[in-house]
């Protein structure tokens, strides 16, 4: 499966069959007469074959009061071929012209049709797949794209809609009116280059990975976990942070190789480490910076492994692989500030997995019995904030806490 690039830019997506994933934004979202904006269509090919696409731009001819409106676009009908596995951006200029009156909320709609290629294979799941190791998009360009309010608001089958505000006044027309264009954001060539870099750096990455001891990881992981969740708008209780760190340390050490169906060398965080070492070998000597750069990939891996561990302990049903991937992708987006964060992102499955691993993974200087007592206090505080839909999560948490207590007793670990 190829990485989900679209998911780094848009929280939502419209998926057309098993062929293409799309999102729509407009930039800038406000303009005046005679000054063009761009409707931006994010496209991600889900197949291993070039994909024939047809786009139709629909602009309003009347405003909300029924008065005439005119929005000019040079080519309202576009045909393009999206290369295999590629993610790209279609720029469609739209210019409000007289007699359009200033008003908010003019609807802009783009219809998207895709023709299935011969003998294709699906290389991305509906949820989009794992995050990329590192994007080839420049940090500045990435920041600009993330500021655009991409969405997948479906106004009709295979049609995305957004809004454009026209404010009073008139601006001089541009000397060279813009034309529609396609911008490749991530290509098969980028992926192959990344895979070569991963392969070339694998031995060095393994050496770095084996040196990531609990004593080295614990403090920076704890500090970064508290900071990331707080910045996302969901500050953690100390015990919640502790158990999330336990799950993260498990995947950053030997956990992925110990659990069936997982592998450190196939994980998102290890591939990102390989890519980092290929471009900046000195990053291995700065543990704080390394944790910062690996964190979102480690969260993704801890989420996927966490679902497996918790379901193994409790028989809880967390959905199929595609649903778990979709959730992990959304959790990462929430922690990166690209999507809303909710209470479930703390507990499902990260804290739950940390409890399931309690006794198997001990943290430096930890008092195991005291950790469970503190987590019970955190749970009691969250109960007052959660609604009834969270009861099932608390039931799982209580079950896992009981199992952890029995394990500590069986191991004859003395009470603190």
Residues in the chain where the model's pLDDT stays below 50 = none
Domains with residue ranges and CATH for the chain: 6-186 (2.60.40.10), 192-410 (no CATH)
pTM greater than 0.85 (yes/no): no
**Token pair in block for residue 160:** 């995305």
Counting Cβ atoms within 10 Å, is residue 388 exposed (0-12), middle (13-18) or buried (19+)?
exposed
**Token pair in block for residue 324:** 């778990």
What is residue 15's three-state secondary structure?
strand
pLDDT value of residue 175: 82
User: What do you get for the CA distance between the two ends of the chain, in Å?
Assistant: 47
Q: What's the angle, vertex CA 341, arms to CA 256 and CA 272, rounded to 5?
A: 35
Residue 298 CB neighbour total at 10 angstroms: 24
252-281 pLDDT tens trace: 999 999 999 999 999 999 999 998 998 889
- The CA distance from 37 to 41, in Å, is 13
Give yes or no for a contact between 7 and 146, defined as CB atoms under 8 angstroms apart.
Answer: no
β-pairing, 30-33 with 159-170?
parallel
3-36 pLDDT tens trace: 899 998 998 899 999 999 999 999 999 999 999 9
- The CA distance from 123 to 45, in Å, is 9
Give yes or no for a contact between 93 and 71, defined as CB atoms under 8 angstroms apart.
Answer: no
**Token pair in block for residue 342:** 């909710």
- The CA distance from 25 to 216, in Å, is 43
**Token pair in block for residue 16:** 């057309």
Place of tokens 């891996």: 301
325-350 pLDDT tens trace: 889 988 998 998 878 899 999 999 99
Helix (H) or strand (E) segment spanning residue 42: strand 37-45
Residue 31 CB neighbour total at 10 angstroms: 20
**Token pair in block for residue 9:** 């830019």
């Amino acid at each position: 499966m190829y990485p989900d690039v679209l998911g780094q830019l848009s929280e939502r997506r419209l998926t057309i069959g098993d062929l293409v994933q799309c999102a729509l934004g407009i930039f800038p979202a406000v303009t005046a007469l005679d000054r063009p904006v761009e409707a931006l269509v994010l496209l991600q090919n889900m197949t291993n074959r070039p994909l024939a696409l047809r786009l139709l731009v629909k602009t309003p001819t009347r405003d909300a009061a029924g008065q005439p409106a005119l929005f000019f676009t040079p080519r309202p009908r576009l045909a393009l071929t999206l290369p295999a596995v590629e993610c790209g951006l279609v720029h469609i200029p739209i210019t409000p012209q007289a007699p359009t009156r200033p008003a908010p909320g003019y609807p802009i709609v783009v219809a998207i049709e895709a023709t299935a290629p011969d003998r294709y294979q699906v290389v991305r799941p509906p949820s989009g797949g794992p995050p990329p190791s590192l994007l080839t998009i420049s940090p500045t360009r990435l920041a600009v794209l993330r500021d655009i309010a991409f969405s997948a608001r479906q106004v009709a089958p295979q049609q995305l809609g957004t809004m454009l505000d026209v404010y009073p006044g008139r601006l001089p027309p541009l000397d060279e009116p813009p034309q529609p264009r396609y911008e490749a954001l991530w290509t098969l060539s980028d992926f192959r280059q990344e895979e070569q870099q991963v392969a070339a750096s694998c031995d060095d990455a393994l050496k770095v990975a084996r040196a990531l001891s609990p004593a080295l990881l614990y403090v920076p992981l704890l500090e970064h976990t508290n900071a990331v969740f707080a910045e996302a708008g969901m500050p953690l209780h100390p015990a919640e942070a502790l158990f999330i760190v336990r799950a993260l340390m498990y995947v950053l050490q030997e956990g992925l190789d110990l659990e069936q169906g997982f592998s450190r060398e196939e994980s998102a965080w290890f591939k990102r480490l390989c890519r980092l070492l290929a471009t900046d070998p000195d990053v291995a000597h700065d543990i704080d910076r390394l944790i910062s750069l690996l964190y979102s990939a480690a969260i993704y891996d801890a989420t996927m492994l966490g679902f497996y561990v918790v379901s193994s302990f409790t028989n809880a049903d967390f959905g199929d692989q595609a649903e778990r991937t979709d959730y992990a992708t959304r959790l990462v987006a929430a922690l990166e500030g690209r999507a809303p964060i909710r209470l479930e992102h703390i507990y499902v499955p990260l804290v739950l997995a940390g409890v399931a691993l309690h006794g198997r993974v001990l943290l430096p200087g930890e008092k195991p019995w005291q950790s469970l007592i503190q987590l019970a206090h955190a749970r009691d505080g969250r109960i007052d904030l959660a609604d009834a839909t969270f009861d099932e999560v608390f039931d799982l948490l209580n079950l896992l806490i009981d199992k952890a207590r029995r394990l500590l007793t069986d191991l004859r670990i003395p009470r603190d």
